[in-house]
Amino acid sequence: MIKTGDKIPAMKLMVATAEGPREADTGELLGHGKVVLFAVPGAFTPTCSAKHVPGFVKHAAEIKAKGVDRIVCMAVNDAFVLGAWAKDQKAGEAITFLADGSAAFTKALGLELDLVARGMGVRSQRFALVAEDGVVTKLFVEEPGGFEVSRAEAVLEAL
């Protein structure tokens, strides 16, 4: 599993934009400046939709006021689903939605969650991290079923 001090792996993924899916390099997206990346098990799932993303939308300005250049939400879903979810969540330009459709990036981070037995495939664990110029400076990984350390308020407090 990735840890504090590690460099974020560079891979090609997709981001949801108003114009549709666009290829993005994680080295570019997460490798410059101060970035908060938070990951959820899936778009449109209960905790992710009711608490996780809304918290980051609500506190985006406060988080950015702490010197954060970009807030990124990642899920093991495709960019079309994440685009629809971003609209549903009224995230606007506050959050970039990163689609890890095949869980390749999640696996490279060592933060995959096997939900095959529940019919959901391989997903991401719920986590948040802070990276500065592509190096992880803080990492918050939830216990299974938890929603404490990766929520926006906890990340804001840690900044």
Residues identified as active-site? 48
Query: How many residues in the chain?
Result: 159
Strand, coil or helix: what is 101?
A: coil
- 9 closest CA partner among 121, 110, 79: 110
CA pair distance 96, 73, nearest whole angstrom = 6
Token reading at 19: 């114009």
Q: Which residue has the tokens 């906890």?
A: 154
Q: Mapped to the 3 state alphabet, what secondary structure does 35-87 carry?
A: EEEEEECCCCCHHHHHHHHHHHHHHHHHHHHCCCCEEEEEECCCHHHHHHHHH
